[in-house]
Amino acid sequence: MHFKFLLLGILPAATVFAQTCTIKSGRRGECIKTTACSSNRGKSEAGHCPGDSTIQCCTYGACTNTAGNSGFCQPTSTCSGTTRAGRCPGPAHIQCCTTTGKLPGLNSVQSTRARQVMAAARAQGVGMRGCQVGIVTGMQESNMRVLANKHVHQSMNYPHDGIGSDHDAVGIFQQRPQFWGTVRGCMDPSASSQKFFVALKKVSGWQSMTIGKAAQSVQRSAHSDAYDKWVSLATNVCNAGF
């Protein structure tokens, strides 16, 4: 009887610990009534929970902890990093989940950038495969660093992890502002990652391509097979942090 009430989502929010769930983008949430999800400022997605159509996977938005690290609001039981209360809507067990430390095969700077790429992958709903495409691209283009460009003087005014010199390409994905927008946007890890994944979603059939081919379809590199060597690392990184 208690489990029945739990699924129906009619117990007080402070005492409900519903079944957890994961939506297509990889974001984690809880199975509760759509009405309860809406009142808690969450978003419901069908097809990931038992019960009738009124019970759906409720996920919450992005968040930033007190140290300025970005993460997602999710049930504390699903967080493999650090949780922080008071940063998210919903009941008390929905907290801001952030991860720190090095990801497999990456140093601390690369890990920070990889997490920013993965956050954009979640926001764009490209799932684990999209995460892998983003990581292989970032590794090949910049060794997962935000690169300014000595030929683009404006780029030097923004935070960067190194300096490149390839035409007018800047940022993690070595995007050229004349094609990808402003220098500022291309130098911003979150904005440039969003640009990358928006472009990826426009590639017909990218989900069924090899990881390297999907990356090449966005980047159109002169070295079309260069991305393949990063697939194993990207798989490990996304498994650990996505």
> Over the stretch 93-104, which tens digit does the pLDDT of each residue have?
999 988 777 889
* Average pLDDT over the chain, rounded to an integer: 88
Give the list of residues 6+ apart from residue 237 with CB closer than 8 angstroms, or none.
103, 104, 105, 106, 114, 135
Does the pLDDT of residue 7 top 50, yes or no?
A: no
Note whether 48 and 31 are within 8 A (CB).
yes
Residues in the chain: 242
What is the mean pLDDT of the segment spanning 234-241?
89
Residue 80's pLDDT is 67
Angle at 211 between CA 149 and CA 170, to 5 degrees: 10
Note whether 141 and 172 are within 8 A (CB).
yes
Tell me the pLDDT tens digit for each residue of 57-82.
999 988 887 777 778 899 988 886 77
Q: Which residues pair with 175 in a beta bridge?
A: 170
**Residue 106 φ then ψ, to 5°:** -120, 150
Residue keyed to tokens 């283009």: 141
Report the C-alpha gap between 228 and 133 in whole angstroms: 10
Closest CA to 212 of 221, 25, 120, 123: 221
Weakest mean pLDDT among 35-49, 57-71, 107-121: 57-71
What is the mean pLDDT of the segment spanning 87-111?
88
**The model's pTM:** 0.66
Local confidence band at 124 (pLDDT 50, 70, 90 cut-offs): very high
Note whether 227 and 138 are within 8 A (CB).
no
Residue keyed to tokens 């660093």: 145
